[in-house]
């Protein structure tokens, strides 16, 4: 945890997503919570010490994925705030979800043993487009941008020109796109750039500026263009993934230990975009057929 602006703290070097804490005159607002229990507790205690024991006022979850929400239980009692689609997903997280979390750490038993009592703290406050918190001398604006997930939201502090963007931006890493809408993601990145933030806290990777959003847009546009071309050539989803894998993988470094996981993630992203193109193609064909039928009736 480090302080990047007076009373604003971030963690960018832990497993899972980045997270933040904003100290106000009346309490602490947490932006996403660490995945591992020991890290979540350390972040909680560090924020309390930095805020002279002030209470936690809100937790803002920028989406519903485990890397953003599992640590919620260690910051209670407080109110959790997230997009309504995040609430929809999180209220369904039962025993199967919890077991998948535990199983994901089979190769790290020292972490796995920490998950003895997973509690899912579901948002008690939801929003559809935007939610503003004017509290304790802070102006904080939570805005849905979608793209990465239907729930993905950013946290904008205009007075500090600081923007927490959740997993809308990944720095030097392949983004997870299995639940993405790539067109909406590009629109969200355009919106982020229009805020002209001086500093951006991404969902993964180091604090950055506008250049990281541009690189993210280039990556998504590249995948969309390649997938569109291959889809028009009649390639299946599997054929498209196999054709593009090597070229897409070259965009960002891949740690040897994460090679298999990252390649699977890339395939999921390509497949997701292929589904988008396929759906759009079918809709276009349907519209053309309907227009032809209407023309035949005249």
How many alpha carbons fall within 13 Å on the CB side of residue 69? 27
User: Residue 16 has what pLDDT?
Assistant: 84
Q: Residue 41 in 3-state DSSP? A: helix
User: Residue 269 has what pLDDT?
Assistant: 97
pLDDT above 90 (res 189): yes
pLDDT above 60 (res 250): yes
Rounded distance, CA 117 to CA 156, Å? 33
CATH architecture of 2-209: 4-Layer Sandwich (3.60)
pLDDT tens-digit readout, 147-164: 999 999 999 999 999 999
Q: What is the pLDDT averaged over residues 19-29?
A: 97
User: Residue 298 has what pLDDT?
Assistant: 43
Per-domain residue ranges for the chain? 2-209, 220-296
Which candidate, 61, 241, 118, 263, places its Cα nearest to that of 176?
A: 263
Assign 3-class secondary structure to 120-150.
CCCCCEEECCEEEEEECCEEEEEEECCCCCC
User: Residue 297 has what pLDDT?
Assistant: 47
User: Residue 97 has what pLDDT?
Assistant: 97
User: Residue 292 has what pLDDT?
Assistant: 59
Q: 2 versus 297: which is more confidently predicted?
A: 2
pLDDT class of 14 with cuts at 50, 70, 90: confident
Strand pairing class (125-127; 130-135): unpaired
Q: What is the pLDDT averaged over residues 1-25?
A: 94
Q: What is the pLDDT averaged over residues 67-86?
A: 97
pTM of the complete model:
0.94
Beta pairing partners, 23: 28
pLDDT class of 288 with cuts at 50, 70, 90: low
């Amino acid at each position: 945890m480090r302080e990047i602006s007076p009373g604003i703290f971030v963690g960018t070097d832990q497993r899972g997503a980045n997270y933040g804490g904003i100290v106000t005159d009346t309490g602490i607002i947490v932006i996403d919570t660490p995945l591992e229990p020991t890290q979540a507790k350390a972040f909680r205690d560090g924020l309390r010490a930095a805020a002279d024991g002030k209470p936690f006022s809100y937790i803002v979850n920028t989406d519903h994925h485990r890397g953003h929400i599992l640590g919620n239980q260690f910051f209670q009692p407080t109110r959790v705030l997230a997009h309504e689609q995040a609430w929809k997903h999180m209220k369904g997280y039962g025993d199967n979800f919890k077991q998948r979390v535990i199983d994901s750490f089979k190769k790290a038993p020292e972490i796995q043993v920490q998950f003895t009592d997973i509690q899912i703290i579901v948002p008690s406050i939801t929003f559809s487009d935007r939610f503003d918190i004017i509290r304790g001398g802070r102006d904080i604006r939570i805005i849905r941008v979608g793209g990465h997930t239907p729930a993905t939201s950013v946290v904008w502090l205009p007075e500090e020109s600081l923007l927490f963007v959740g997993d809308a931006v990944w720095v030097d890493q392949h983004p997870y796109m299995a639940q993405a809408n790539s067109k909406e993601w590009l629109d969200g990145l355009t919106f982020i750039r229009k805020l002209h933030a001086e500093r951006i806290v991404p969902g993964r990777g180091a604090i950055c500026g506008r250049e990281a959003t541009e690189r993210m847009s280039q990556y998504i546009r590249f995948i969309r263009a390649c997938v569109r071309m291959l889809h028009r050539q009649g390639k299946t989803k599997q054929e498209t993934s196999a054709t593009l894998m090597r070229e897409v993988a070259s965009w960002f470094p891949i740690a040897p230990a994460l090679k298999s996981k990252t390649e699977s993630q890339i395939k999921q992203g390509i497949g997701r975009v292929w589904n988008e193109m396929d759906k759009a193609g079918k809709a276009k064909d349907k519209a053309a057929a309907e227009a032809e039928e209407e023309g035949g009736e005249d």
